[in-house]
Amino acid sequence: MKVLEDRIRQDGMILSNTVLKVDSFLNHQVDTELALAIGKELASIYADQPITKVLTIEASGIQFAMATGIALGVPFVYAKKKKAVTQSDKVYTAPVHSFTRGETYQVSVDQRYLGPNDRVLIVDDFLATGAALVGLVDIVRESGAQLVGVGCVIEKSFQEGRGLLEDKGVRVHSLARIASMKPGEVHFVHEENVVNEPQKETV
Ligand code: 5GP
């Protein structure tokens, strides 16, 4: 998605070879127009499949799951990281280790909001180690719902997440796939094998 790649180049801050900060437009302050465009794009990628629900994990996936749900005309559900007093005991759960926070959460989804009649698209902001998305895949499978696929905003393709999901037979689409990065420089997967045409000399 060109507009997203351009924005990552313009406003993303590459803190190290593995960590990209996008909190000025994606996951702290959110560019609402871009978030809605991301939702439309993810919905159009999966337009060949009937989908009844979008699933994400709090907090940074919520705006993209909502935008995708709006584009598809279906509800979205987000897995919770902490149990609330109002939450029922009938939940699907999975352990998820957070790459950015260094903690393991027991994430949960109320059993009333996911079940065998659902066809689910999972959406998240980042695909990195894949821990969060593998946890959501396990929750969908435990619920008996059918998993249509995963849609990610940014994939760090040099990390193992995509491979883990594909090994589980999951269809994965990401709107910006980063092949490599370092402070001040980012390379996307589709740019990797482009052979630069030699410049013609002009007289
Ligand atoms: P995972 O490692 O499970 O694929 O990533 C889980 C979560 O960690 C993502 O949903 C995202 O919120 C966060 N995350 C992973 N890598 C990055 C990164 O490079 N930058 C930011 N801002 N968040 C990240």
Helix, strand and coil content of the chain, in percent to the nearest 5, comes to 30, 30, 40
Give the three-state DSSP class for 14.
Answer: strand
Q: Which token pair is 172?
A: 């994965």
Question: Is the distance from CB of 150 to CB of 133 less than 8 angstroms?
Answer: yes
Q: What is the pLDDT of residues 17-59, one digit of tens each?
A: 999 999 999 999 999 999 999 999 999 999 999 999 999 999 9
Domain ranges of the chain: 39-155
CA of 156 to the centre of ligand 1 (A): 9
Q: What is the pLDDT of residues 172-195, one digit of tens each?
A: 999 999 999 999 999 999 998 755
Q: Is 104 exposed, middle or buried (0-12, 13-18, 19+ CB in 10 A)?
A: exposed
Give the pLDDT score at 199: 47
The domain 39-155 having CATH identifier 3.40.50.2020: the answer here is yes
Residue 76 beta carbon below 6 angstroms from any ligand 1 atom: no
What is the mean predicted confidence (pLDDT) over 65-94?
91
What rounded mean pLDDT belongs to the chain?
93
Question: Is the distance from CB of 16 to CB of 25 less than 8 angstroms?
Answer: no
User: How many other β-carbons are positioned within 10 Å of the β-carbon of residue 143?
Assistant: 19
Q: How far apart are alpha carbons 120 and 53 in whole angstroms? A: 5
Residue 153 beta carbon below 6 angstroms from any ligand 1 atom: no
CA of 16 to the centre of ligand 1 (A): 14
Confidence of residue 83 (pLDDT cuts 50, 70, 90): confident
* Phi, psi (rounded to 5 degrees) for 92: -90, 140
pTM: 0.93
Instruction: Give Cβ neighbours of residue 3 (< 8 Å, ≥ 6 apart).
Output: 34, 37
Q: What is the pLDDT of residues 141-152, one digit of tens each?
A: 999 999 999 999
- Ligand 1 pocket test: which of 8, 19, 55, 126 has the largest number of ligand atoms within 8 Å of its C-beta? 126
Torsion of CA 194, 196, 197, 200, to 10 degrees: 160
